[in-house]
Amino acid sequence: MPYRTLEVCPRCKQDAPVVMVRSPDRKLCLYCEECEWAWIDPKDIAIVEKGTLGIYWDVVPANKDDIAQGGWDISEFEVV
């Protein structure tokens, strides 16, 4: 089940970004499925300019283990 941020995307204000694993570097990222904006650091999620257009990234939703491995705090996200 995907994990999402507790706040909606600051760029499109439509949808909450999802925690994703990016291939091939296996980095965690936050990815807005609505406007395809992405952030590599969850601390930057409130700042649109710290993100980038992730449209060409190869991403899949992260599970609990991916999030733990990436060192992110799972309590900052909610399961949807």
State yes or no: cis peptide before 24, omega within 30 of 0.
yes
Instruction: Out of 4, 9, 29, 30, point to the residue binding Zn ion (CB under 5 A).
Output: 9
Q: Does 18 sit near Zn ion (CB under 5 A)?
A: no
Q: Which two tokens stand for residue 21?
A: 């694993």
Q: How far is the CB of 68 from Zn ion (least distance, A)?
A: 26
Q: How far is the CB of 13 from Zn ion (least distance, A)?
A: 7
Q: How far is the CB of 69 from Zn ion (least distance, A)?
A: 25
Q: Is 62 exposed, middle or buried (0-12, 13-18, 19+ CB in 10 A)?
A: buried
